[in-house]
Amino acid sequence: MDSLFTPISHVGEFGLIDRMKAVLGSGTGNAALIASIGDDAAVYRVDDDTAHVITTDALVEGVHFDRSFMPWPHLGAKAISVNVSDVAAMNAVARYAVVSIGLPRNMSVEMVESLYVGMRDACARYGIDLVGGDTTASPQVVLSVTVVGEVELSRLVFRRGARPGDLVCVTGDVGGAYAGLQALLEQRRSIQEMGDSYTPDLDPYRYVIKRQLTPEARVDVIADWAKRGVRPRALVDVSDGVASEVHHLCRASGCGARIRGAALPIDPETRFVADEQMQDVDTYALFGGEDYELLFALDPGDEHLLDPTTFTVIGAFTEASEGVTLVTPEGPIVPLQPSGFVHFTDPGADQEEDPDA
């Protein structure tokens, strides 16, 4: 370890994780380990047919949520859902959760109980048990959940596995959680500007606010695939935005992809918010994040096996040399960056270095 001072912002989140991975090296070389850092969850074999998966995700006050518009039960439920979503992203079923909680002095017992009501109800919906944790003082509320799940070895799906020609598919709709955040921020601005004379009207934003405050992991889709005996070739959940997750699948699979902007599944309420904010709704859909839908690579020959109401084909995987591109709804094809696309650029032209490529 040297004594240089490299600001974390210079390497970014994924660059930092690569540095951690380099420090850790290959660990004990345990032969039961099937996947570790780099997928949505780590996977280890428990017997000839079964693997367990394990994942952890934290929600930090001021970073992931704002107490002024995140009710405690919703926060508790979201902390569980985002972890179950990572388990689902391995095509696995969640079983147990433990939670570490950091509590500032200004929290009451009743607030913590509300948080636990949310976690209890979410666990009940997903069929998992919350079996332990840790409690500590903290300057902000921190909720760190770990979930373990299980899966038949033959049903595991990784981020790697997509092949050129596979369909790029996404469940549900995208951009809604970001639209919900914009709607909540707008209401807060109005309250701050107009004070008591302002009556919030959240009715036009019900769906998108729900997407932001209480996302649901798509365990229904995982169960449906199992019932139909279908398995995508590669899978990731959409926590960081469609563009970022397409890059993750491409990077892990050694592919490129071409995404059709016009095909992105977007709820009318999401469009309404983007219009109100005078922003581009495709930007919400591609870069918004927190949708917790599933993005997957499907063998075109398997398309007829899936329930067409549960997913949308948004593009196709290509050879790696073609990079990750977006066919804009207006027609031109542009490079699709993991966060922010370059408008009206020749895809063959020199691009800024992609830190996630």
- The answer to whether residues 155 and 87 touch, using CB atoms and an 8 Å cutoff, is no
Other CB atoms within 10 A of residue 203 CB: 6
Which of 40, 61, 173, 291 contacts ligand ADP by CB under 6 A?
Answer: 40
Q: How far is the CB of 20 from ligand ADP (least distance, A)?
A: 5
| SS3 (DSSP) at 297 | strand
From 34-42, 61-69, 109-117, 297-305, give the range in contact with ligand ADP by CB under 6 A.
Answer: 34-42
291 binds ligand ADP (CB under 6 A): no
- The answer to whether residues 159 and 39 touch, using CB atoms and an 8 Å cutoff, is yes
Contacts with Mg ion, 215-254, as mask; x by CB under 5 A: ----------------------x-x---------------
Which of 38, 71, 164, 347 contacts ligand ADP by CB under 6 A?
Answer: 38
Contacts with ligand ADP, 219-258, as mask; x by CB under 6 A: --------------------xx------------------
Count of residues binding ligand ADP (CB under 6 A)? 10
DSSP letter, residue 166: P
20 binds ligand ADP (CB under 6 A): yes
290 binds ligand ADP (CB under 6 A): no
Q: How far is the CB of 23 from ligand ADP (least distance, A)?
A: 10
- The answer to whether residues 163 and 253 touch, using CB atoms and an 8 Å cutoff, is yes
Contacts 24+ apart (CB under 8 A), 336-345: 336/243, 336/246, 336/257, 336/259, 336/286, 337/243, 338/240, 338/241, 338/243, 338/244, 338/247, 339/240, 339/241, 339/243, 339/244, 339/287, 340/287, 341/243, 341/286
* Contact positions vs ligand ADP (CB under 6 A): 17, 20, 37-40, 57, 86, 239-240
* Contact positions vs Mg ion (CB under 5 A): 40, 86, 89, 237, 239
